[in-house]
Structure 1
Amino acid sequence: MSQTIPATLIPGDGIGPEIVDATLAALDALGAPFEWDRQIAGLEGAKAAGDPLPAATLASIRRTRLALKGPLETPSGGGYRSSNVRLREEFKLYANLRPARTIVPGGRYDNIDLVIVRENLEGLYIGHEHYIQIDDDPHAVAMATGINTRQGGRRLLEFAFEHAIATGRKKVTIVHKANIMKALTGIFLETAQQMYEEKYKDRIAMDAVIIDACAMKLVLNPWQFDVLVTTNLFGDILSDLTAGLVGGLGLAPGANIGADAAIFEAVHGSAPDIAGKGLANPTALLLAAAMMLDHCRLPEQATRLRRAIADTLNVDQVRTGDLGGSASTAAFSRALNARIANG
């Protein structure tokens, strides 16, 4: 492999180091050209550096503009904000990409192949909240302000349309609640319709659906959808719903992509109850690494990795306990690396 690609590696908390080790082994077996700068964050960062997102970690990502991270735990108390949210804000990671693809067949739903593109920086998640006191109750009224901008919508929608076209998708569905939140989500729908007419109507199909109807339709007939694009809160909910269609968060990778950086992750938690026991399933992070390879224009290695994961799970029937098997994290990793070597 000619040139190395600098990348920041954040093993994370709980089961993070175990699933990161398994993922690094698979990337090494593929001959992936990443040159890792190992950093800390989350609980580990708070303990070692007094900050869940240490300055050295941020500096590393600013330098590499690329990161792979395990799950992070937000320390309880102390007024700490979520490290994941801070990372998105710090690097303006406006697009959250969450594919949901059937990898273990035979579940309640089969042949699922969906992508959720979620706006990552705006909406109700900006955190503008306050209470109003009435009489002696300081928390008598709770208020939150959501903000969606035309510019933020256009940026995300352009990413979604371009990604859909580049990956051979057939349809983009805009998910909204403009019938009730006419301004807050109406601006997103209106921006999508304008952009579609201006740039994309001859290149891909587009439709729109109200969020509550979308949730029902995803349960009744998820195959009617292809790429779903939506605002922050709706995207958070729908991305977990679609993960449930393919077996849960243990099979759900994620990418946070912005103008200046891209961070790839397993979206499940740090599972401290099973940390260090060799029980963790590294599949979600491995699939995130495949997304990272695609992002770095290494599609052949990404395809080899996805194929090896599918063959390990389905042909070799090597599965961790959460998927009904009995393999340890290390045993799964060995079987996967043997598949890569033979593939």
Structure 2
Amino acid sequence: MKDHYDIAVVHGDGIGPEVCGATVEVLRAALGPSSPLVFSEHPAGADLFVATGESFPETTFAACRAADAILHGAAGIPGIVHPDGTEAGLDFTLRLRFELDLFANIRPIRLFDGVRSPLAAVKAGDIDYIILRENSEGLYAARGAGAQLRGEVAVDTLVQTRRGVERIVRKAFELARAGKGAPADGVKRVTCCDKANVLRSYAFFRSVFDEVARDYPDIEAEHALVDAMAMHLVLKPGHFNIIVTENMFGDILSDLAAATIGGMGLAPSAEVGLSQGLFQAAHGSAPDIAGKGVANPYGTVLSAASMLEWLGGRHDDARLTEAAKRIRQAVGTAMQEGMLSRDLGGVNSTVEITRALCARLAA
């Protein structure tokens, strides 16, 4: 246990400052006046790029690298791009993933009581699984390294390494072992999602998965092709416990999965390595509603709960793990009682939701 934890806060773009600011308030309420969290704010993002020509200053990177954890709002504004056409604001997340080796992107998918799923006859408790996305390799490892030839041909390379696949698969089995199993049957299972029937890179991913699975005889292991998985997440979401997959597939499937639980506003994300972690909601910067006070803070708040849980586990700090539980309970109670933002079919503002959460945590 440490005396204090340095949290680098990067608000980012669009609704990022609103949801990030709300989350810091919730964290302070959860831990009280003796909170061990020390927050420091640092600039990055598309708006900064417009103002200065730099989207991710070295001073911000150094602060993030030195911090115990990083809390981020949102990044990127459509149309604000580098000369190669890629979004300026995304430099922040992508550089941290690769340079800090945040290889495990943990995206919980849970339907809360009080939130209506677009899936017929699905209720709270029926959807509760994790998409574990390999975060440092796959197709996105080609960012900045692909080739464009004379405006006629463009090539990006999908990269899979034995080390990279093995460690993300082991993470999947460890998460399954520590969890409570799939909602439909209680079975602790890990599903390997790939395209092994067509591409050698995914066949390799599957072969390493099968090797690692033999070390976990207590956990059920299975395979699913990514196109079939897109259907399964709609038709039988209760079957799944932990889904492990390549970088791009995980990115796409987690957005589809978020739609089944009410939308991207309820999609937290933890991106962790062996010693560092980045925590942010999976949604974008939503510039169309920025500054209107209607942004949904739940995804970022739940990401912060994951941050506390991760820090508490690493440092054997029960203060943090207990606060994480209380935050999740407060979120669940608030939504159950109808405290919903507009994207969830409610009428509550960002400030109203934040105050409600803080009041429950202070009680």
**TM-score, normalized by the shorter chain, greater than 0.5:** yes
Aligned twin of 2:116: 106
Question: What letter matches 1:153 in structure 2?
Answer: V
Question: CA offset at residue 125 of structure 1?
Answer: 1.6
What does 1:51-130 correspond to in 2, within 5 Å?
51-73=54-76, 75-79=80-84, 82-83=90-91, 84-103=93-112, 104-107=114-117, 108=119, 109-110=122-123, 111-127=126-142, 128-130=145-147
What does 1:204-219 correspond to in 2, within 5 Å?
204-219=219-234
Aligned twin of 1:239: 254
Question: What letter matches 1:314 in structure 2?
Answer: Q
SS in 2 for 1:296: helix
Residue 187 of structure 1 pairs with residue 204 of structure 2: yes
SS in 1 for 2:146: strand
TM-score (norm: length of structure 1): 0.91
1:321 aligned residue (342, 346, 357): 342
What does 1:221-236 correspond to in 2, within 5 Å?
221-236=236-251
Aligned twin of 2:185: none
Aligned twin of 2:178: 166
Aligned twin of 2:321: 299
Question: CA offset at residue 168 of structure 1?
Answer: 3.7
**Cα distance change of structure 1 residues 147 and 247 upon mapping to structure 2, 3 Å threshold:** same
Aligned twin of 1:178: 196
**Cα distance change of structure 1 residues 49 and 56 upon mapping to structure 2, 3 Å threshold:** farther
* C-alpha RMSD of matched pairs (Å): 1.9
CA–CA distance in 2 between the matches of 1:143 and 1:269? Answer: 26
Question: What letter matches 2:108 in structure 1?
Answer: P
Question: What letter matches 1:224 in structure 2?
Answer: H
Structure with more of its chain in strand, by fraction:
1
CA–CA distance in 1 between the matches of 2:55 and 2:255? Answer: 25
| 1:184-203 CA distance string (max 9 Å, x none) | 01111111111111x212x3
Aligned twin of 1:41: 44
Aligned twin of 1:20: 20
CA–CA distance in 1 between the matches of 2:75 and 2:296? Answer: 16
**Cα distance change of structure 1 residues 299 and 191 upon mapping to structure 2, 3 Å threshold:** same
| 1:36-74 CA distance string (max 9 Å, x none) | 121111124325653211111111111114100000115
Residue 310 of structure 1 pairs with residue 332 of structure 2: yes
SS in 2 for 1:114: strand
| 1:124-173 CA distance string (max 9 Å, x none) | 2222533456xxxx41x443321111111112112222222223441111
CA–CA distance in 2 between the matches of 1:328 and 1:240? Answer: 23
CA–CA distance in 2 between the matches of 1:322 and 1:210? Answer: 31
Question: CA offset at residue 88 of structure 1?
Answer: 1.0
Residue 269 of structure 1 pairs with residue 284 of structure 2: yes
CA–CA distance in 2 between the matches of 1:214 and 1:36? Answer: 40
8 Å CA contact 1:39–1:57 kept in 2: the answer is yes
* Identical residues among aligned pairs (%): 40
CA–CA distance in 2 between the matches of 1:42 and 1:63? Answer: 19
8 Å CA contact 2:110–2:261 kept in 1: the answer is yes
Residue 336 of structure 1 pairs with residue 354 of structure 2: no
8 Å CA contact 2:263–2:343 kept in 1: the answer is no
CA–CA distance in 1 between the matches of 2:14 and 2:230? Answer: 32
1:144 aligned residue (156, 159, 171): 156
Question: CA offset at residue 176 of structure 1?
Answer: 1.2
Aligned twin of 2:269: 254
**Cα distance change of structure 1 residues 132 and 53 upon mapping to structure 2, 3 Å threshold:** closer
CA–CA distance in 2 between the matches of 1:25 and 1:173? Answer: 37
**Cα distance change of structure 1 residues 105 and 328 upon mapping to structure 2, 3 Å threshold:** closer
CA–CA distance in 2 between the matches of 1:45 and 1:92? Answer: 25
CA–CA distance in 2 between the matches of 1:105 and 1:42? Answer: 31
Residue 10 of structure 1 pairs with residue 15 of structure 2: no
Question: CA offset at residue 106 of structure 1?
Answer: 3.4
SS in 2 for 1:126: helix
**Cα distance change of structure 1 residues 210 and 2 upon mapping to structure 2, 3 Å threshold:** closer
CA–CA distance in 1 between the matches of 2:59 and 2:209? Answer: 39
Structure 2 gaps of 5+ residues are 182-187, 313-319
Question: What letter matches 1:152 in structure 2?
Answer: G
**Cα distance change of structure 1 residues 331 and 212 upon mapping to structure 2, 3 Å threshold:** same
8 Å CA contact 1:254–1:266 kept in 2: the answer is yes
CA–CA distance in 1 between the matches of 2:60 and 2:259? Answer: 32
Structure 1 gaps of 5+ residues are none
TM-score (norm: length of structure 2): 0.86
Question: What letter matches 1:236 in structure 2?
Answer: D
CA–CA distance in 2 between the matches of 1:28 and 1:5? Answer: 13
8 Å CA contact 1:61–1:261 kept in 2: the answer is no
8 Å CA contact 1:266–1:284 kept in 2: the answer is yes
SS in 1 for 2:81: coil
